[in-house]
Structure 1
Amino acid sequence: MTASDTLPRESTRLGCRSLVSVAHDPQLVDKVREQVRSWCVSKRWDAEAVADPGIAAVAPGVHASFVEEQRQDDSVIARWRFTQSESTGTWTTQITTLLHRDRSGVVWVDLYAPGDRRPAAPRIIRNIGEVIDALDGGYRAPATPTRAYPDDVESIYGALDDENRRGLIFLAGSDEDLVPMPQWVEYVTKLLKGTNGLATAYVLDPEATRELNRRLPQTHGVRPWTIRTFYPKPDFSSPDDALRHRVLSTGRIASSDDRGVAGILSNAALRNSTQLPLPNELIRIDRRLRALLDEAVIERASAAPRGSLSTTSNEIPAATVQATEITADTDDAQTSKKATGFAPAVLTALRLGLEKVAGKAELSIDSVNSLVSAAVDGIKYRENIGFLRRRLESVEAERGLLEDQSTELQTELDDARLDHAVAQQTLDEANRELRHLRRELAKLDHGTANWVTETTDLDVPPESFRDLLARIAELDHVVFTGETKPTINLDDHDPLGTWAKKTWNILRALNDYACLRAASEFQGSVDEYASNTPSGYMGLTGHKAGETPHTENHSKYGKIRTFPVPESVAPSGKVFMGAHVAIAKYGMISPRLHYYNDAAQSGMIYVGYIGKHLENFRTT
C-alpha cells in the first residue's frame, strides 16, 4: 500500500494567482516580509513564529513555514506558506519573492482553496501592491483603479498590446453626458474592488476615451459608460478577436445589482489569473523552494536530542525526592508525603513510569530527570511527526490535483473537439440546405427574394448566464423556478458566453413549442418537435425526453432532479424533471437544462435547473 492509499486526498485547487514584477527595489524582500507580518497580526496569528526560517504553528489549525536562500549569483529567493485547516477544507496561501542581482524582482502569491470554490483574492495581495511599484509585463500595474487622462493613452495602449502582460485590463469609458467623472470613478472602483492586485483598471475621462478609440479598431473600442475587459495578447487586426474582450454594457450595469456586476468582474480576473503558465524561471525557483521546505521539515524532525535535562529547566530538585525507595503502603506514608512533598500514589506512578521507560523502578533524581526528558522528547517527536504528515499530505494532494487536472483537461479537450465537429457539421448542412433552397427559388423566378432576415429583441443573445436569468421573463411561455447559483456558476467556465447563447436558443425553442402547443397548432411532444421542427420556428438539439426509471426512483438521484413548480401544476409544489437538454459536452461540467412540460395544460414550460451535469450512476 502506498502513502497515497493511506492518506486522504484533499480536493484543493488553485483559486487565485498574483504575479507582478518590479524594475528595481533592493528592499523588495523586506517590504514583503513586513506586509506578511502585518497580515498575520491582522489575522491574530503569531507573526514572530515565522520571522526566521523554519516551521511553526501560528494559530490553532494554522501552520506556517518560511524558507529563504541567498544564492551564489547574489539573488535572493524567499517563500512564506500558510496552511489553514477549516471545516470547509484546507486553505493554503503562499507568498514568494525573487530578488535578482540587479535588484529587479518578482512577487508571486498563490491561494489554494477547497473544491471548486472561487475564493476572494487574499488581502495580502493588495497590501503588497500598495508598497511596491508593480509592473505587469513592461507597464505599471496600479493596485486600484486609476483615472486616466489623454496623456495616459499611449501607455495604456502599450499595456494592452504588451506581449508579456498576464493580467486583465479593465477600461471604463465615459463622455460628458451622464454622470460627473468623480462619481463614475468612485462607482467603477467599487465594482472592481475584487480585482485589486489581479488586474489593472483605468477609468478613462471623456477625452481619453475618444483618444484611445482613435487608436483602437472599432471592433475593440471602449464605449462611454461601459466597462470592457481586455485579455492578454489581443489581436487588433482580427474582428473575431473582439469576442474575447467582453463588454459590460451601460444597460447591464444599470439594471443589475452592484454585487452581481462586481462578481462578474472579479470572477473574470480570478479565472484569468489561474490559467496562464508560470515562466520557466519561476518553475525552477519553485522546485528549489520546495526542496528547501522539505529540508526544513526533515531538520526539525531530527532536531530533538535525547538525554538528561539541565537542572535549570525541568530537573527535579534533589531536596524534593529521596533516593531511597518509599512505598505507598508503608505505615510511614503520611511521614513520607511530608518528607518528599509528594503523595505516595504519585511516587508509585513515577516508579511505574520509570519501569516502563528504563526497565527499572529505582526512584532517584537522575532517573526522574531522564523520565521527564523522555516525555519532552516524545512531545517534540509527536509534533515533528505531525509536521511531516501534513507535508506529506500536502505533496500527495498536489500530486493528486495535478493528476485530476490532467485527466479533466484531456476530457474537456476531447469534448470540445467533438462539440466543434458537430457544430461544423450542422453549419455545413445548414449552408447546403440554404444553397439548395436558393437554387429552387431561382427556378421559380424568385431568385431576387429578400434574404435579409428581420431581427427582434429575442434574436439578441445574452452576454452571460447572469444576463440570461434576467431576460427569461421575455419568453411568454417559459418560467424559471430553480436556484440561480448553479446557473451563474457556469459563467466561470464560459468566458465567451457561448454556452449562455446556446442555452438562450434552447429556451427560445421550448418557448416556441409551448406557444404552438397552447394554440393547438402542434400536438406532439417536445421530442417530436425537436425531430420535426415546424418551418420558421427555433430548432432543438441535444434533447432527452426523460431519465431511466432507475434514476427517477433512486433516493438521491431522483431527489436532486425534483424542482419547484406552482401548486396549480402539482399540489406538492415540486415535480421530477427528467426531461433535459444537453447544453455542451465539457468534462465533469457538461451543463444541462432540466424542465417540466405543462404546455398542454397551462401553456407553460417550467425550467427547474440550468447548471453543471447532475450526479448519476456514472459520475459517483
Structure 2
Amino acid sequence: MITGRYRMVFHSALAPADAFATATRELRSWLTAKSKHRAIDIAAYDAGHSQLGKGILLLHNARAEGDGTQTRQWQLREHDENGYWLSSLVVHAPAKPADAQQRTWFWLDVEYVRRTDGEEMRAGLPGIARKLLAAVNAYDHWAELAPRPILIRPDRIEHLLEILTDEERRLPVVIASPHSKIPFDTWHKVIEQATKYLHGIASIYILDPVTEKTFNAEIGSSFGVWGGAVRTYLPGLDFAVEDDARRHRVLSSARIEADVHRSAGLLAGLPRQLSADSRLPKPLSRLSRADVAPTATSRDSTIPLDHSTIVEELRQENSELRELLELFDYEERTLRGESADLRDDLLDTAAELETANQKIAELSDWVRTLRKRLEFAGKAAEAWVPAEEQTVLPTQLPEVLELMDGLERVEFTGDIDVVWKLDERAQSSTWAQTTWQVALAMQEYADAVADGKFHGDFRRWCLEPADGVAAISAGKVKTEESETVRKNAKMRGQRELPVPREVDPSGRTYMGAHIRIAGSGGMSAPRLHYYDDVRGTGKIYIGYLGPHLDVKSTN
C-alpha cells in the first residue's frame, strides 16, 4: 500500500526539558507561519486552548511515569468538507540508566484522514519537519538527519562507512557523487534540489571530488557511486555479499540533469515508504498517536460560570472526545488495511519466488546436460567457457521505459508519472525486471507476426513458446477484462488509454488486455495494459503501467 503519510522519527541528545521546550517553540513557529494562510489564533495556543480557529483543533497531553519516563504529545487537526489533516508530534524521553547516553525521541506524523470517498491525499514535506531538523541535532543511530546534504571529506570516510554498515540504522543513507563535467559548487546546489524531499526520512551526504575515488576504492565497484550519480543505501548493507549491491539503487547524473524536480520525487519515494511503514523504535513502540487526552479550557476557577459558558465547554470537550474515538477507529482500520496488504504481498512474493526457483532449477538441469554432452563429445574445455555477454537487468522502472525506446515494435504511450510513482515501492526493482522481460517477449512476438511466422495473439505466444524465444508465463496475460468492467462507464473509461492518431483518430483506445507484473491478485500488484496493433501499425502499445485499476471490488 503506497501511503500518503509523512513520518519522521529521530533521536537527539537533548535533555527532556530542552526537547520539550524546542518542540513547543517550533510548533508555535509553524502555526504562526500557517496563520498567514489560515485563521489560526496564536493567542489561543499561548493560552493553552484547544480550539485555534474554525475547524482547527489542537490537543495536547503531558505525562510522566514512575520510572522517570516523560512524554508530551500534540495533535493538530485542520478540518475541511471531506475530512481533516492530522499532524501528530510526540516527544518521548525514556528513563535514563546511569551508564547510558541520553536519547530523547521525536516522532512526527502528517496525513489526511478522509471521511468521504475520493483519492488519497498525499502529505508533502511539512514545514515543522524542516524547523525541527534545523533546531535539533537529529540522528538515526549514528547517521545524521540534517536539513541539507552533509559534505564528506577524506577524513570522514571511515565514519561514513561505519554509518553505512551500522546494523541499528533504520533509514536509507543517500550519497551523491561529484559530477565530472560540472563545477562542484554548482553540482552541490543541484544535489540540494534533488534531495529536498528527503529531509527527516534519510541521511544525505555528498562526496567531494577528492573523497570520491577513495570512498569507491574502500567499498568496491559494485557498491560505489561516481560521475554525479546518487545512490540510496538501504539498511542491512553488507559489502561482503556481492549480490547485495543490486538492492541499493543508483540514480544517474543524466536523469538528474534532465529533470531535477522529478528526480527529487523518485529519490524520496522509497525512503518515504520505508519510514512510514517500518517498525517504530522500541522506546516508541507502545505509544499511540490517539493517546491524547482532551484539554479543558483554561479559566480562573474563582470566576462563576453562566449556563451558556458551561454548555459551550461541555460541547467542546464532547467534540474532542468524539474526535479521539474517530481517530482510534481510523487507526484500527488503517492497521487492518496495511496488514491485509502485507499478507497479500507476502503470498504474491512467495508464489513468484516458487515460479522463479522452478525456472532456475530447469535451467540448471539444462546447463548440466549440455556440459555433459560437450564433455562426451571431447569438448570439455568449452563446457566451462563463460558467456560472451552478461545480461544486466534494469532495477528501476523509468530505466525500463528508456530501454523500450530501443525496441522497434513496443511503444510506451502512458503516463510516465504513474510509473515513477510505482518506483517508490521496495519491490519495484523486481517489477522493473519483469516489465523488461514482458517488453522483450512482446518485441519477439511482434517480429514473428510481422514476418508471417506466427499467427496467434500474445497470450498464445506465451502459452506455447518455441524453443529459445522470449516469453513470459501465460498465466500473467489476460486478453480481456470482465464483463462488469467492460460495461461500467467509469472503469471502462480508466482503460481508454493513449495511442497514436494513426491507431485511433481520437488518440485513445480501449485496452482490456493486460499483464500482471506481480502477484496473483490484490489491488497493490501493478498491471500493464496494452493494445496489440502488430497487424495494423506493426506495434504493441503499452498505455498503462501502474497500480491495479478499479474493478468491482473497489468501485
- Cα distance, 1:434 vs structure 2: 3.6
Pick from 540, 544, 555 the counterpart of residue 609 of structure 1.
544
- Cα distance, 1:450 vs structure 2: 8.9
Partner of 1:172: 176
Alpha carbons 1:226, 1:247 under 8 Å: kept: yes
Partner of 1:96: 90
Query: What does 1:114-513 correspond to in 2, within 5 Å?
Result: 114=113, 116-174=120-178, 177-254=180-257, 256-284=258-286, 286-287=287-288, 290-291=290-291, 293-294=292-293, 296=294, 373-439=306-372, 448=382, 452-453=386-387, 455=389, 460-495=392-427, 497-513=429-445
Say which SS state the counterpart of residue 470 (structure 2) adopts: coil
Give the TM-score normalised by the residue count of structure 2.
Answer: 0.88
Q: Quick one: structure 1 residues 137 and 49, their matched pair in 2 at CA, closer, same or farther if it must change by over 3 Å?
A: same
- Cα distance, 1:550 vs structure 2: 4.4
Percent of counterpart pairs with the same letter? 27
Q: Deviations over 1:475-524 (max 9, x none)?
A: 11112222233322211224551101110110121122112212223222
- Cα distance, 1:418 vs structure 2: 1.2
Higher mean C-alpha displacement, 544-553 vs 37-46? 544-553
Alpha-carbon distance between aligned partners in 2 of 1:138 and 1:276, rounded to the nearest angstrom: 18
Alpha carbons 1:144, 1:197 under 8 Å: kept: no
Alpha-carbon distance between aligned partners in 1 of 2:309 and 2:81, rounded to the nearest angstrom: 31
Alpha carbons 1:518, 1:599 under 8 Å: kept: yes
Structure 1: gaps spanning 5 or more residues: 1-10, 311-372
Say which SS state the counterpart of residue 534 (structure 1) adopts: coil
Partner of 2:523: 588
1:67 equivalenced with 2:61 (yes/no): yes
Alpha carbons 2:4, 2:123 under 8 Å: kept: no
- Cα distance, 1:39 vs structure 2: 0.2
Aligned residues, how many?
535
- Cα distance, 1:80 vs structure 2: 1.2
Partner of 1:353: none
Alpha carbons 1:14, 1:110 under 8 Å: kept: no
Alpha-carbon distance between aligned partners in 2 of 1:112 and 1:488, rounded to the nearest angstrom: 21
- Cα distance, 1:610 vs structure 2: 1.1
Partner of 2:31: 40
Alpha carbons 1:304, 1:377 under 8 Å: kept: no
Q: Amino acid of the residue matched to residue 252 of structure 1?
A: R
Partner of 2:7: 17
Alpha carbons 2:50, 2:297 under 8 Å: kept: no
Q: Quick one: structure 1 residues 452 and 549, their matched pair in 2 at CA, closer, same or farther if it must change by over 3 Å?
A: farther
Larger Rg: 1
Give the TM-score normalised by the residue count of structure 1.
Answer: 0.79
Alpha carbons 1:147, 1:185 under 8 Å: kept: no
CA RMSD of aligned residues (A): 3.0
Q: Deviations over 1:306-365 (max 9, x none)?
A: xx967xxxxxxxxxxxxxxxxxxxxxxxxxxxxxxxxxxxxxxxxxxxxxxxxxxxxxxx
Name which structure has the greater RCO, CA cutoff 8 Å, separation 6+.
Answer: 2
Alpha-carbon distance between aligned partners in 1 of 2:95 and 2:516, rounded to the nearest angstrom: 55
Q: Quick one: structure 1 residues 22 and 151, their matched pair in 2 at CA, closer, same or farther if it must change by over 3 Å?
A: same
Alpha carbons 1:52, 1:66 under 8 Å: kept: no
Alpha-carbon distance between aligned partners in 2 of 1:140 and 1:575, rounded to the nearest angstrom: 50
1:111 equivalenced with 2:110 (yes/no): yes
Say which SS state the counterpart of residue 552 (structure 2) adopts: coil
Q: Quick one: structure 1 residues 140 and 578, their matched pair in 2 at CA, closer, same or farther if it must change by over 3 Å?
A: closer
- Cα distance, 1:82 vs structure 2: 0.8
Alpha-carbon distance between aligned partners in 2 of 1:415 and 1:12, rounded to the nearest angstrom: 17
Alpha-carbon distance between aligned partners in 2 of 1:260 and 1:141, rounded to the nearest angstrom: 22
Alpha-carbon distance between aligned partners in 2 of 1:157 and 1:404, rounded to the nearest angstrom: 38
Partner of 1:551: 485
Alpha carbons 1:304, 1:381 under 8 Å: kept: no
Say which SS state the counterpart of residue 492 (structure 1) adopts: coil
Alpha-carbon distance between aligned partners in 2 of 1:446 and 1:527, rounded to the nearest angstrom: 39
Alpha-carbon distance between aligned partners in 2 of 1:411 and 1:584, rounded to the nearest angstrom: 11
Q: Amino acid of the residue matched to residue 546 of structure 2?
A: G
Alpha-carbon distance between aligned partners in 2 of 1:161 and 1:516, rounded to the nearest angstrom: 49
- Cα distance, 1:192 vs structure 2: 0.6
Q: Deviations over 1:515-540 (max 9, x none)?
A: 22122232222122112323443112
- Cα distance, 1:554 vs structure 2: 3.1
Q: Deviations over 1:13-36 (max 9, x none)?
A: 572221222224452211121111
